Amino acid sequence: MSDNVFDILKERGLIAQTSDDDAVRKMLGNDPIVFYIGFDSTATSLHIGSLVPIMAMKHLQRAGHKPIAIVGGGTTMVGDPSGKAELRQMLTEETIREYGRQIHSQLDRYLHFDGKNCIAVDNADWLLKLNYVEFLRDIGRHFSVNRMLAAEAYRQRMEKGLSFIEFNYQLLQAYDFLYLFRNYGCTLQMGGDDQWGNILAGVDLIRRVDNVKVEAMTFPLLTLSTGAKMGKTASGTVWLDAEKFNPYDFYQYWINCDDRDLGPFLKTFTFLSMDEIKRLESLQGSELREAKQILAFEATIISHGKSAAREAKASSEAAFGTGGELDGMPTTTINRSRLEQGINPAELFAEVGLTGSRGEAKRLIKQGGLYINDQRIDSLERLVNENDLTPEGILLRSGKKKYHRVLAK
RNA sequence: GGGCAGGUACCAAAGUGGUCAAAUGGGGCGGGCUGUAAACCCGCUGGGGUAACCCUUCGGAGGUUCGAAUCCUUCUCUGCCCA
């Protein structure tokens, strides 16, 4: 098999479209190139959806190419209408900066910015300085409104309405590419397939103003076999930040994936060899659990490191099988005196976040959905007290698989 | 700027003075069956309370009324048509 990273991405199903397959393959097979992906600063943390571009960047990085990550302070101020049903909430400049800082440090964990072979830039640095009229004359004139309106991304929005600010997003993203091309020699932009239009706009722009052919590549948008969008669970969005989304829960997210998603997930979210992946995919029935454990372990290592992954794995095994330590389990420590008095379980479950409210906890108790140390709570009268305290603490469970450990001090 | 139609819970969408914490569908959650999977069946789905009941919610703010998601005023946002 070829060691051209293009072929690796292709084999893993990570390529949706390119501007020119042969040209892209050739450029990736030769000397190191500079490429970029943009990340919006719309939240304090990236979520699992950003993992696809991150993995792709890592693949190219491993092959010796030089990544640039744009943390999009400038473009975020405008807001990308692609794939959005309506105008999204406008964030203040200050908020966007703060989000950008956090996202920058997260990306750093994956990519290790060194300021030279791997850098992060904020497009606010150049976009905010643009002069409006000058920009219109130099850049705006290269964009055909007719053509933009024909694009799927905008056509959808013709129904719901599209504000002028959003309509400009594409110009700014195209300009980013031009800027990076001129200042960093960046010749390839990648992104999710929903970005195809925006990315191509940049390719076109560079061809028109600098008469150079640069390239574009997009990744397929991962949807689950159930049709749902990836990355939502009962505990909310699957964030990449360990503070916002516990590594144990992260591990469980992968364990709980649908059988049908296993193969694509292994290819996309781990660096396992294709041979190994083929072996895992061929497993049948309950053996698939083993494959899911490997998926979960590998994916957790990439995002949270080896020791967190080990803890998560051990806790998962402790909760669902035999043996293993519970140390990676989300844990809350409470005052021993409260146990001595006895705690209303509804209160405790709500407090540790296993249920959204006491009312919900009570409902679940009535439905037989809450457990203490794997024993169903069968009465609203029951209190949690010292007798429930095991050497491992008290293991609370909501439903089949949401666990939380309580320690007393 | 003018005219019209709208803003209801996570989403979509009923409701047009009390019987509305608000139909229905989706989603989500719990139970059963399983493999920590899918499909399927049953149940739940604002907060507090064992309960009676209390509190908060129908774009925002005022008002009418014994009583408002429902009527009035005003503000605001969105869509459509005209300019």
Q: Tell me: the pLDDT tens digits for A266-276?
A: 999 999 999 99
A7 touches strand B (CB under 7 A): no
pLDDT of A40 reads: 87
Mean pLDDT to the nearest integer, A370-377:
93
Please give the C-alpha separations between residue A303 and each of A37, A300, A306, in angstroms, as whole numbers: 18, 5, 9
Could you report the per-residue pLDDT of A137-152, keeping only the tens digit for each? 999 999 998 888 888 7
Q: Given its phi and psi angles, is residue A31 left (phi above 0), alpha (psi -120 to 50 degrees) or beta? A: beta
H or E stretch at A4:
none
Q: Residue A82: is its pLDDT beyond 80? A: no
Q: Residue A188: is its pLDDT beyond 80? A: yes
Two tokens, residue A164: 């002028």
List the single protein residue with the shortest CA to C1' distance from B42. A367
Q: Which residue in this structure is represented by tokens 């293991």? A: A395
A347 touches strand B (CB under 7 A): yes
Q: Residue A355: is its pLDDT beyond 60? A: yes
A89 touches strand B (CB under 7 A): no
Q: Which of A149, A189, A191, A193 is nearest to A167 (CA)?
A: A149
H or E stretch at A399:
none
Global pTM value: 0.91
- How open is the CA angle A22-A191-A177, to the nearest 5 degrees? 85
A84 touches strand B (CB under 7 A): no
pLDDT of A232 reads: 66
Q: How far apart are CA A58 and CA A271, in angstroms?
A: 10
Find the Å distance, CA of residue A240 to C1' of nucleotide B44: 31
As for the ipTM of the complex, it is 0.87
- Please give the distance of CA A236 from its chain centroid, rounded to a whole number: 13
> Which percentage of chain A shows pLDDT scores above 90?
70
Q: Residue A303: is its pLDDT beyond 80? A: yes
Q: How far apart are CA A301 and CA A360, in angstroms?
A: 34
Q: Which chain A residues 307-336 have CB under 7 A to strand B?
A: 316-317, 319-321
> Which percentage of chain A shows pLDDT scores above 70?
94
Compute the mean pLDDT over every residue in chain A, rounded to the nearest whole number: 91
Q: Which chain A residues 20-49 have CB under 7 A to strand B?
A: none
pLDDT of A236 reads: 67
A224 touches strand B (CB under 7 A): no
A359 touches strand B (CB under 7 A): yes
Confidence of residue A161 (pLDDT cuts 50, 70, 90): confident
A367 touches strand B (CB under 7 A): yes
Complete DSSP assignment for A115-153: SSSSEEEETHHHHTT--HHHHHHHTGGG--HHHHHHSHH
Residue type, A251: Y
Q: A287-292 — which CB contacts under 8 Å span 24+ positions?
A: A288/A259, A288/A262, A289/A255, A291/A262, A291/A266, A292/A254, A292/A255, A292/A256, A292/A257, A292/A262
What sign does the CA torsion over A16, A46, A331, A233 have? negative
Mean pLDDT to the nearest integer, A329-357:
92
Q: Specify the nucleotide whose C1' lies closest to residue A86 (CA).
A: B78
Mean pLDDT to the nearest integer, A234-262:
88
Q: How far apart are CA A339 and CA A350, in angstroms?
A: 16
Q: Which of A97-106, A168-177, A219-228 has the least mean pLDDT? A: A219-228
Q: Residue A365: is its pLDDT beyond 80? A: yes
A363 touches strand B (CB under 7 A): yes
**Cross-strand partners of A36:** A68, A189
Residue type, A20: D
What positions of strand B are covered by protein, i.e. any atom < 7 Å from a CB? 27-32, 34-39, 43-51, 78-80
A227 touches strand B (CB under 7 A): no
Mean pLDDT to the nearest integer, A77-95:
75
H or E stretch at A354:
none
- How open is the CA angle A372-A374-A376, to the nearest 5 degrees? 65
Confidence of residue A282 (pLDDT cuts 50, 70, 90): very high
Q: Residue A301: is its pLDDT beyond 70? A: yes
pLDDT of A235 reads: 61
A161 touches strand B (CB under 7 A): yes
